[in-house]
Structures are given as structure tokens and as C-alpha cells.
Structure 1
């Protein structure tokens, strides 16, 4: 993709204030990941878990939001006919501070997305006509873990939810003993079986490392690498420059600044991670709005050398770990010659 084509593509994408801290952009890495996820979801149950791993600051949360929005647009006609349908949601796996992963809190977050107009399940009380006393109904307490699980199953079926994007999914695996890892994800698998929902688990490279501890989980997973834009790949450099230009045009104090003049500086400082680039540019926009433009102001907005060194170390280690998991060997044509096929 040329830089001109890249700019045209980006100009066709609306810039939103999804959060007060910055803008979103559907750059080529996001478009590619959405396409790959779409193919896997269309394939059905070929993989119980879709792992979407990448470096910190690559923009995985933004990708998750785009995945949900793309699914909503895909089902626009169905949504018009059935406004109660919610084909996809995004939730964050909680880090509750407990020794074990809090499925109770996780289920409540799912219910918040599916039943946003309702409060969390509460116990319904009644009055015994014989004694006049307030009594608690028999059956499963909707506030219990089992009650919350039942509510999630019912809501997923009623809403017709097709997939759930789980941000910071490593929290599910990290907050348990390695021997119990499969049991954690069996909960997600059972919800898939009961409700026909698929899971897209997003996280940094430690998510891949945790999943790879179990051969059973590795077999049931498909890995998508949501990588950074590298400085040694020409197409990546062009795409990064397109993102930089688009962000600059959308931030009020930077519209008159020639950011492309400093494209190499931005690329080196953000390590090609668009989420980090967005944060740096939002910070720069605030500084320029108050103090005016100067290279000193630019330096104040950039990450420190210590920050860049630490993030780079994590990226390099993560890329080295995930690379073998992405490699696929082709069978040489001569290898099958003379073999009998049962």
C-alpha cells in the first residue's frame, strides 16, 4: 500500500472521541486482524479460543472495539428487526487482587454489557401468606456464582451473542496454579457449548506464554499476532507515516505542524506501536496548545529512554517467544511420493 493510498484509506475512517484521552484509527494492522478474526469466526468451532497477542501499546483495546463494531454493522438488518440482539461485546478480564481469578466479577461484567439497563442480579424476596414473614425463594441464589453463570447463559442466548472479546485475558490464566490452567478455560469452553459463543482473548505476549503451557489449550487455540510497525520493513514505515499524518490532522494544536518531518523520531520513540503513538501525540497536542510548538516541547512529550528500553526489551522477548508458535511447515512435494494413503 502506497502512502497516498494509505492516507486516502485513513481519511475515509471517522475519528472518534471514544475516550477523552485520544482518538481511534483503523490502520492496516487492525483491518488485517479484523479480516482474520472474521474468517475464523465464520469457520465455526475450528478453534475454541482465538488468541490475539501483541506488544503493549499496539492498540489491542482499540482493535477489540473495532471488532465489536464490525460485527454490529454486519448484523445491521437483524438489529433493525430485533433491537434486543447484541451479536458481540467486549469486556476486560478483571484483576481483582484476589488469589484466584474472580469469575463472579467477570460474569457481572458480561451481564453489564448484555443487560446494560438492568442492575446486577438481586435476590427476590417474598411474603409467606401463612406467617406474614419475609421469605427467601427456593432455588439458586442469583447472586451466587452458579446464579450468575445461569444469568450469563440466559442473556447470551436471548441476545444472540456470537462472540465475546476479552481484553487483558492473561488475568484469567495468571491467577491460578499452572495445573489448573485447563480448568479455567474449560469454563469458557462450556459457555461456548451451551450458548454457541466464541471467545477472542486479547493480551500481551505473556498470554501466549501461559496458554502454551498446556498442550490441550494449544490444540484448541488459534494465534493471531497483532504486531507493531517495524522500522526495517518499507510497508510498515509507510503505514506508520500514514497513521502519524492522520493523527496530526485530527488533533487541533498539531494541524499546522509538519509531524512527518519527525516521523523517524516518532517511530523510534514509540517502537512502531500505534497506541503509544496516539498517547504521545495527545500529550504533545496538549503541550503545544498551552505553550506553542517547539522541538523542546516535542521532547517533553516523547517517552524517556528508560521507558523505551524497557518496552523494547519486552517486545523483543515476546516476538522471540511467539515466533515458533506462528511457524507453519509445508510438506515437500517429494515427501508424499510413494506413500500409501489409507
Structure 2
């Protein structure tokens, strides 16, 4: 593949546009690669075809592109819900929320539920109350029923909102934060199970391989409610995956609005790109975004090794990431009883 205009993947008129427009174009460009398509199809299939109230756990390495996975799943579920949306204008097909890292011993579930309800634009959240009757005995020994007003339970409010809005899925990204609490994991699983059952909505937990730690210890009573989808990286040990990852890099470079493509860099030293991304497409895109910004600042006609060198992660960080990823892959293989070919798995 050469550097001619005919081999550029972007509209050539972008070369006459502003730096901001070119940066936005490349920033928005996504390669719908095989592992991304497989994971999207697996998750959507489980959401729409299994009985309500199931929990779907999606695991993958840091940098694999989970944010884009969530975006694609959301778009597909909204597309599938079009008939429902025509008959029910209040329907919210899917709700996406991110779990923040806990700053104390216990995960802040009420904050997560409130965030989801705000995304759903649930009205008058601060006015939600619950009416309860409390039976007590007065000084005369008589039973007395006292009516009380209690601040609404945000989980119960969310359960009702998901059910009445006919949501097919609640997607919780960065879900490893939700379960990263010592000695609280069983209780937290119970919370998620209760939410799924009472809302009659699929709960999709998307996170890193840290989730495998909790899956290993999962109580057997949960196994009929939990499905597992792996969103893996591309392995350098599988020829077809190496070829696919190389093509992904080339697609990104062809869509980088510069006068000449830099695909020769890939052909000259593919393993340079692999070393600092470890086969993770999200990490690759983040690196290329930074390198492209630098090339634009330099008013360069093409991306160079210098731009890549100045924006890559350190070798030390790369080695740390590799250990974390391979540990997670081994745990994932153990949980699923799968082989090590890393072709993408659904359990």
C-alpha cells in the first residue's frame, strides 16, 4: 500500500480543513474489528434472547476498547427497540452508567443508582418518599399502627424506573470498581441479583479482568443467572490475529488526515506497534490520537517514528500491563475451561 491520495481512507478535502476539524475526524474514527463485532453480537444476543433478570459479565484487558463496545451495544439495542419506541414514547431501551472507584471500604451503591436515574431523567428525585406502616404497642398495651414517611430507597426507585420504562439493559461500565471491596463481594452480588430480578432488566457488568477474581469465587447459586462474555486482545501467538491487528493499524493510519499515510512504519516494524499496545485496539487508538496531535502541531505531512516515540507508554509500564493481562487471561481460561487460542469466547 503506497502513500498516494488514492490510498487515503479519509475525504481528501479534509486536508484543507482546520486542525480542529481534522482532529475531530480522526478522534471519531472507529475500526469495527472482528473481536469488537463478536463481543457486541454476543452481548446483544444475550440481552434480547434470554429470560429477563439475567446478569451478563463482560471481561477484557485494560485498553481493549470497552468504551466503544458499550457505545456499539447501546446503538444496537436502541435500533432493535424502534418498534417499542413507536408505541411507547417513554421507553428507554438501555441505560449506561459508570461505576466510580470506591473511596472507602464500602461501594457507594446509592450514588450509582442516583447517577443511573439522572441519566434516565427521572423526575423529582429529591422528592421520592416511601410510605410505611409501623406496628407498635402504646403505654396501655394496645397495638397501634403508625404511618411514617421515609426517604425513597434509590435502588427501589431505579428498579421501578427500569421496569416501567421497559429498559432491556442497564450497562454498568468499570464494573470492577463495584466489586473491589474486601469481604463485601457476596453482599454486592446479592445487590446486583436483586436489582436484576426486581427490575426484570438485564444487568451488563463491563470491566477489566479484575472481574475474574470475583467470578472464581462466585457462589454456585448464581451460576444460572450469570453469563460471561470475554472481549479479548489480539494475540501475537496466533498468525491470523497478528494479520488482523496489523490491518487495524493500517486502517487507522489511512484515516489519519495527513498528506501522506504512514503505513510503511507498520510494514517496517509491526512489533514496535504491538509492543506498546499488546494487541489492544483501545490502547492503539489512544496512542495514535496523541501522536497525530503532535504531528498536527509540527505541521508534518506524515506521521513519523518521532511522533510515536514521544507519545508511547514506557517499556516498564508496558511490561506491567502485560503481566496483568496474561494473569487475567489465565483466570479467564480457567473459568471458561477454554483453550489458549484467544479467539474470543462466550461462556
1:234 aligns with 2:239: yes
Q: Aligned equivalents of 1:255 and 1:96: distance in 2?
A: 46
Q: 1:190 aligns with which of 189, 194, 214?
A: 194
Q: 1:19 to 1:37 in 2, by over 3 A?
A: farther
Aligned to 1:257: 262
Number of aligned positions between the proteins: 296
Q: Aligned equivalents of 1:250 and 1:120: distance in 2?
A: 45
Q: Aligned equivalents of 2:239 and 2:58: distance in 1?
A: 24
Q: 1:277 to 1:328 in 2, by over 3 A?
A: closer
Query: Deviations for 1:94-152, whole angstroms, at most 9, x for unmatched residues?
Result: 22412201111010111022127x4643468xxxxxxxxxxxx952313xxx2x12321
Aligned to 1:340: none
Q: How many angstroms does 1:283 deviate by?
A: 0.7
Please tell me whether the aligned partners of residues 55 and 204 of structure 2 are also in contact (alpha carbons under 8 angstroms). Answer: yes
Across the aligned residues of Structure 1 and Structure 2, the Cα RMSD in angstroms comes to 2.8
Please tell me whether the aligned partners of residues 47 and 222 of structure 1 are also in contact (alpha carbons under 8 angstroms). Answer: no
Aligned to 1:207: 211
Q: For 1:96-115, what aligned pairs fall within 5 Å after superposition?
A: 96-115=102-121
Q: Which runs of 5+ in 2 are unaligned?
A: 1-8, 11-22, 130-146, 340-347
With a CA cutoff of 8 Å and minimum separation of 6, indicate the structure with the bigger relative contact order.
2
Aligned to 2:6: none
Q: Aligned equivalents of 1:102 and 1:19: distance in 2?
A: 37
Secondary structure of the 1:175 match is: coil
1:313 aligns with 2:323: yes
Q: How many angstroms does 1:61 deviate by?
A: 1.8
1:159 aligns with 2:165: yes
Q: Give the structure-2-normalised TM-score.
A: 0.77
Q: How many angstroms does 1:229 deviate by?
A: 0.6
Please tell me whether the aligned partners of residues 54 and 228 of structure 1 are also in contact (alpha carbons under 8 angstroms). Answer: yes
Please tell me whether the aligned partners of residues 254 and 288 of structure 1 are also in contact (alpha carbons under 8 angstroms). Answer: no
Q: Aligned equivalents of 1:31 and 1:276: distance in 2?
A: 18
Aligned to 1:129: none
Q: Give the structure-1-normalised TM-score.
A: 0.78
Q: Which runs of 5+ in 1 are unaligned?
A: 1-9, 12-16, 125-136, 330-342
Q: 1:301 to 1:22 in 2, by over 3 A?
A: farther
